[in-house]
Amino acid sequence: MTIRHQAQQIRTDYLTVRDTVADAFRAPRPAPETESRTAFVRVDPWNDPALQADDADEQFEGWCSQSAFRADRVECETGADCFLSQDANTAACGDPSTNTWTPYRILAPVQPAIDDGSEPTLSPVGLRLVNGAWCTFHSGGPDVAVEGWGGSAGECVEPGGVAYPFWSTYPSGPLGQPYLFELGGSGYLRIAVREGTPDAPDYEDVAQIFY
């Protein structure tokens, strides 16, 4: 590929991302419908005027990749989930559990999402349990395997610092998510945690799903 073609491709990618991000700001993708008491929280860091006014002293020199589920969501070199500004030139990365964000200027173009028609029903960035714990996802296996589960989906940390894994299973549960389980008696979607087994699950209720 010649330098001219490379420049044209970079320009095309930027315009694709910018236009799809603008569409996402105009018409955000709605939360899925469930019969549960579990609430869905759309992460929207750029709704904060203070963040919009920030000059973004930090910057990414590497590439960021656009999410197929949500056009303004990207995964950048830090491995963290970040959210693009409407012009797609800045990404807000941080902690949705505390709503604290740092803006980063993006030096390289964002790689557009590949739309293969298989977008997930839901792609959360975190879970808040009824007991106050905040749960994050990871792709690695569990530190200690528990027979019968499909692996560790992530880790939950309670306000007092107590931490424990939560588990995935197959086939997937509600909303096509391998870690979600049907409603309990309290009416919330649930996750299986700690050392519970498929025969004797240790469930916790999910108060909020951040996506």
**The total number of structural domains that make up the chain:** 2
Residues 100 and 131 in one domain: no
46: which strand partners? none
Domain membership flag for residue 117: no
Residue span of the structural domain in which 191 resides = 126-210
Lowest-pLDDT choice from 81-90, 115-124, 132-141, 194-203: 115-124
121: which strand partners? none
Domain membership flag for residue 61: yes
- Asked whether residue 203 carries a pLDDT value surpassing 60, the answer given is yes
State the pLDDT confidence band at 37, using cuts at 50, 70 and 90: very high
pTM: 0.86
- DSSP letter string over 114-143? ---S---S---SEEEETTS-EEEE-SSPPS
Residues 156 and 201 in one domain: yes
Share of the chain above pLDDT 70, in %: 90
State the pLDDT confidence band at 81, using cuts at 50, 70 and 90: confident
Residues 71 and 159 in one domain: no
pLDDT in tens, 192-201: 999 899 999 9
Cis link prior to 171 (omega < 30° from 0)? yes
Structure tokens at 56: 């973004």
Mean pLDDT of the chain, nearest integer: 87
Q: Is the dihedral of CA 12, 15, 19, 25 positive or negative?
A: positive
Structure tokens at 127: 């879970």
140, 144, 145, 150 alpha-carbon torsion, rounded to 10°:
-40
Q: What are the φ and ψ backbone dihedral angles of 208, each rounded to 5 degrees? A: -140, 140
Q: How far apart are CA 159 and CA 2, in angstroms?
A: 55
pLDDT in tens, 143-184: 556 778 888 999 999 999 999 999 999 888 999 899 999 999
Q: How far apart are CA 20 and CA 171, in angstroms?
A: 32
Domain membership flag for residue 81: yes
DSSP 175: G
- Asked whether residue 1 carries a pLDDT value surpassing 70, the answer given is no
